[in-house]
Amino acid sequence: MSDPLRLVIVDDQQLVRAGLRPLAERDGDIVVVGEAADGRSGLARVQELRPDLVLMDLRMPVMDGLEATRAIVADERLDGVRVLVLTTFDEDEHVHEAIRAGASGYLLKDIAPDALRAAIRTVAAGDALLSPAITATVMRAVAEGAAPVDPRPLDGLTEREREVLTLIGRGLTNDEIAGELFLSPATSRTYVSRLLSRLGARDRAALVILAYETGLVRPGR
């Protein structure tokens, strides 16, 4: 049996933290190793404990979740620590700022308990996750011109790499991409890894944003 995933919860509401702990730990494969009530103390706890994943609120005193996320991502000692934003806010500016800060996922607090645990496992495994509501927010931002289309980051990509990035932007998993393009799952994963490297993207969430901001995927397509 593999070791449980180690989780730190950073949220300024004690009631929220108290509720999230049993939800996360219910199946036994996730353990909450620490909590914090603001971004600064959260950063300190993450540096001390080096968990697999951080559940991060955005609006907090002392240091907000965006600044704390940037600090975690920038700390080479915390390489491999993933940040999953869990918040009540879904405004465009927060989505883009959180992804650009280095968050590997962005969920709203109305998520079902089973879906939350699945999201923790997904992000801790190295994949990215955006809830459907968040993906819709990204698409709306592009449609309204909040995120100007700039295709230059795609210069140098092969036709196949563009196809894979398009499907990532549409929300397909590696296995679904393999089926769509008649590839083996291993080849699909190789293309995704190559795109992460060539585009300088930290994770899959950043690729989703790039697919929209470069115009490769557009709302309604």
Most confident of 23-27, 76-80, 194-198, 216-220: 23-27
**Second CATH level (architecture) for the domain 5-140:** 3-Layer(aba) Sandwich (3.40)
Of the candidates 60, 57, 69, the residue with the CA atom closest to the CA atom of residue 99: 69
CATH of domain 148-213: 1.10.10.10
Ranges of each domain in the chain: 5-140, 148-213
Q: State pLDDT tens for residues 157-203.
A: 899 999 999 988 877 778 888 899 999 988 988 998 899 888 887 77
pLDDT at 207: 82
Angle at 197 (CA atoms; ends 136, 186), nearest 5 degrees: 85
Is the pLDDT at 1 greater than 70, yes or no?
no
Of the candidates 206, 168, 209, the residue with the CA atom closest to the CA atom of residue 73: 206
Q: What is the pTM of this model?
A: 0.72
What gap in Å lies between CA 122 and CA 96, rounded to an integer?
20
Q: Which residue has the higher pLDDT, 52 or 196?
A: 52
What gap in Å lies between CA 48 and CA 54, rounded to an integer?
13
pLDDT at 122: 83
Which distant-in-sequence residues (6+ apart) come within 8 Å of 29 by Cβ? 2, 4, 5, 121
Count of alpha carbons within 13 Å of 150, Cβ hemisphere only?
7
For residue 90, what pLDDT band results from cuts at 50, 70 and 90? low
Q: Are 180 and 172 in contact (CB under 8 A)?
A: yes
